[in-house]
Chain A
Amino acid sequence: ETGVTQSPTHLIKTRGQQVTLRCSSQSGHNTVSWYQQALGQGPQFIFQYYREEENGRGNFPPRFSGLQFPNYSSELNVNALELDDSALYLCASSLVLAVGIEEQFFGPGTRLTVL
C-alpha cells in the first residue's frame, strides 16, 4: 500500500459530459502528478501540482484541469468528454526537495469509460 487513494474506482460517462476524479496524497508529500494510461500503453503525464500551483503540464488540452488543496488532496477535471478519454487515470504523490523530485507513489487509479 502506497497511502495514495483515488475515487471513484470506476466511472462511466457519455460523450460531452464532465467528470471529476479525486486523489488523496500520501501524508507529507507536497506534489501530485496526474497521468492517463490507455490500455497497453505507458502512463502519459497530464500535469503536476506543487503547493497548490500547476508546476508542469504535458501535451493535454485545456479541458483537462486540476486543483490541489491545502491538505494535498487533489482533483482532475475533464470537460467535454471524448471517446478517446477512456483510460485509467492515475495520480502519483511525491516529495520535491531542493535537490529534485523523489520517487512517485501511485494510487490504484480510476478507470473511466466514455460511451
Chain B
Amino acid sequence: GQQVMQIPQYQHVQEGEDFTTYCNSSTTLSNIQWYKQRPGGHPVFLIQLVKSGEVKKQKRLTFQFGEAKKNSSLHITATQTTDVGTYFCAGYLYTGNQFYFGTGTSLTVIP
C-alpha cells in the first residue's frame, strides 16, 4: 500500500546549525503539505506544495517538491530553540481523497 517515509527519524542540532528532513512517497502525489507538531500539541500547517519542482520559502524555512512529485524536503537555516518539534509531511492523493502522513522527524535544538 501507499507509504510515506521520512528521514531522519530524530535529529539533534546545536542552535544555529541547519536542519533538513526528507519525505519519500511510494507513489506520485497530487500535492504535499508540511506540518509541525510541538510535544503535547496538535499538527500545525506550515505550507502546501502543488507543482512539480516547486520551491517555497518562509523566512528560514525552505520547502521543495520533487520533479516526480514523489519526494519533498524541508530545510531550516540557522535553527532556533523555537524550531523544536516533530515535522510531518502529508501527501495528498486526489483519487480517493486520501492523506498520508509521513513518519515524522523529531527535531531537538541544543542551546
Residues of A that sit less than 8 Å from B by CB = 2, 33, 35, 41-45, 48, 50, 55-59, 90, 92, 100-109
Contact A90 B43 (CB under 8 A): yes
* Pair count A-B, CB < 8 A: 60
A103-B33 contact given A42-B102, A56-B98, A58-B98, CB 8 Å threshold: yes
How many B residues touch A, CB cutoff 8 Å? 25
Contact A106 B43 (CB under 8 A): yes
Contact B31 A100 (CB under 8 A): yes
A21 and B47 CA atoms in complex are apart in Å by 28
Q: Could you list 15 A-B pairs, sorted by A, with CB under 8 Å?
A: A41-B103, A43-B88, A44-B101, A45-B100, A100-B30, A101-B92, A101-B97, A103-B45, A104-B43, A105-B45, A106-B43, A106-B44, A107-B42, A108-B42, A109-B42
Q: How far is the CB of A53 from chain B (nearest CB, A)?
A: 11
Closest B residue, CB atoms, query A44: B101
Q: How far is the CB of B71 from chain A (nearest CB, A)?
A: 16
